[in-house]
């Protein structure tokens, strides 16, 4: 089986957590990583804000949860996820958490970038 590395391919998912505590965000991170590993769009969009920036091959824009789920279901149906591992995580100077992961599919290796900003409620 030949695996191709797609240079510069990043799956951008802006994932918004409704929880402001970092402990809750850590718990959400594990569930989010599992959803990507399982190719489970339905579980993944549970952690999206009402609107999300999403960039995958063929689609880039701001989408609501239903639109995001449909696009991700299509992506996962065409790209079976064999494994997903977080390769790097950190925080921006503004405090926004991010993850960079490596997703192995049967014919490609994709690098993902996930942004996990904290949304504060007043």
Residue 84 sits in a domain of what CATH number?
3.10.450.50
Q: Give the tokens for residue 4.
A: 């191709």
pLDDT in tens, 55-99: 888 888 888 989 999 999 999 999 899 999 999 999 888 888 888
Q: Give residue 16's domain range.
A: 4-109
**Structural domains of the chain, count:** 1
pLDDT confidence of residue 8: 37
Is residue 51, in this structure, part of any structural domain at all?
A: yes
Q: Where are the beta strands (DSSP E) in 32-107?
A: 51-56, 59-64, 83-91, 97-104
Whether the model pTM is above 0.85: no
**Residues 69/45, Cβ–Cβ less than 8 Å:** yes
């Amino acid at each position: 089986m030949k695996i191709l590395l797609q240079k510069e391919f990043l799956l951008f998912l802006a994932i918004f957590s409704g929880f402001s505590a970092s402990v809750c965000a850590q718990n959400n991170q594990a569930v989010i990583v599992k959803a990507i590993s399982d190719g489970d769009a339905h579980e993944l969009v549970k952690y999206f804000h009402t609107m999300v920036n999403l960039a995958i091959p063929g689609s880039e824009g701001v989408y609501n949860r239903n639109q995001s789920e449909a696009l991700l279901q299509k992506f996962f149906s065409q790209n079976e996820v064999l494994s997903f591992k977080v390769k790097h995580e950190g925080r921006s100077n503004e405090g926004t958490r991010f993850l960079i992961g490596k997703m192995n599919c049967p014919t490609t290796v994709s690098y993902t970038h996930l942004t996990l900003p904290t949304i504060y409620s007043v």
